[in-house]
Amino acid sequence: MRVIEFNDVVKAVRDIIVHCGTDLPQDAYDALKQAMEDEKSPVSKEVLKQILENADIAKDEKRPLCQDTGLAVFFVKVGDEVKINGGLLKDAINKGTEQGYTDAYLRASTCEPFSRANLKDTVGYNLPAIIHFDIVAGDKIDIEYAAKGGGSENVSRATVFPPAAGKDGIVEYVKEVISNAGPNPCPPITVGVGIGGTFEKAAISSKHALFRTLGTHNEDPEMDELEQRILTEINNLGIGAMGMGGTKTALAVHIESNPCHIASLPVSVNVQCHSSRHTHITI
């Protein structure tokens, strides 16, 4: 067994949260820069210029990229030879989240669903974090983190098709979701598509798909082709940066596909705004 100290996990989580709040990851920055160069609409080009300038200011002056500093979402792979000394791994991740959000002056955005009371004083500052655990072989902890904003989450959708819907049905569905969303999710967006599994497996896959590095291809050639097909359809919608009209509505489409029940074809669409704050560490 490898023993990892509780406080080491807290510090590692705190550090990635502080970093992600102000420093747009290189893959997102590069994708936006490319979009600005390719964009045909002068108005959207100007918006993209402002978005990149914002990223420069945020990094240089350590200011949050966006006032919506998100809910903290984690995908954690825990090695079966790891033991945490001093507490539970889940508690360490939550504690690191609270410290990171507090130390970097990020916004506390969690609230009670109906009273809308902010949970900063009761549950904790921007707590609880959303954590998806998996157990793998080995003696390491692998943590993927994203700060997930509300505007793009609000336009995300899931459904379960009959198998006959096939690829065409999925393409039409994703197109419809993005078309209805229009300017609201802060385009240019990244579109995570979860296919197969069960209802919730598709949704979790669509979220995890957003963590993939922008500019990389799907390892499955069939899914890679489907990603490109959906991306073209989305960019043909003409929504553009912040919905001002343009040729770059999405930076990328990322698909995660799973085996599913013989009776169903679940599909979920999770949208990520242009401020794609995500990172990955191994402890």
Residues at the contact surface with another protein, assessed by CB under 8 A? 22, 40-41, 43-44, 47, 50-51, 53-54, 57-58, 61-69, 105-109, 116, 118, 120, 149-151, 154, 182-184, 186, 236-240, 242-247, 273-275
57: amino acid identity, one letter:
I
Nearer to another protein, 47 or 204 (CB): 47
Q: Kindly state the smallest distance separating residue 12's Cβ from another protein, in Å.
A: 23
Q: What's the closest the beta carbon of residue 122 comes to another protein, in angstroms?
A: 13
234 within 8 A of 250, measured Cβ to Cβ: yes
Which of 36/242 has CB closer to another protein?
242
* Cβ pair 281, 143 in contact under 8 A: yes
- Do 39 and 45 meet the contact criterion of CB atoms below 8 Å apart? yes
Question: How do the residues of the chain divide into helix, strand and coil, expressed in percent and rounded to 5?
Answer: 40, 25, 35
- At residue 211, φ and ψ (nearest 5 deg) are -80, -15
51 vs 141, which CB is nearer to another protein?
51
Rounded to a whole number of angstroms, the minimum distance from the CB of residue 160 to another protein is 27
Q: Are 27 and 215 a contacting pair, CB within 8 Å?
A: yes
User: Nearest approach, Cβ of 247 to another protein (angstroms)?
Assistant: 6
Q: Which is nearer to another protein, 184 or 258 (CB)?
A: 184
CA-based Rg of the chain, rounded to a whole angstrom? 19
In the chain, DSSP assigns E strands to: 2-5, 71-79, 82-85, 130-136, 141-148, 157-161, 189-197, 250-260, 265-272, 278-282
| Residue with smaller CB distance to another protein, 202 or 242 | 242
Smallest separation (angstroms) from another protein to the CB of 131: 23
CB of 152 to another protein, least distance (A): 9
Half-sphere exposure of 32 (CA within 13 A, CB side): 29
Pick between residue 88 and residue 111 the one whose CB is nearest to another protein: 111
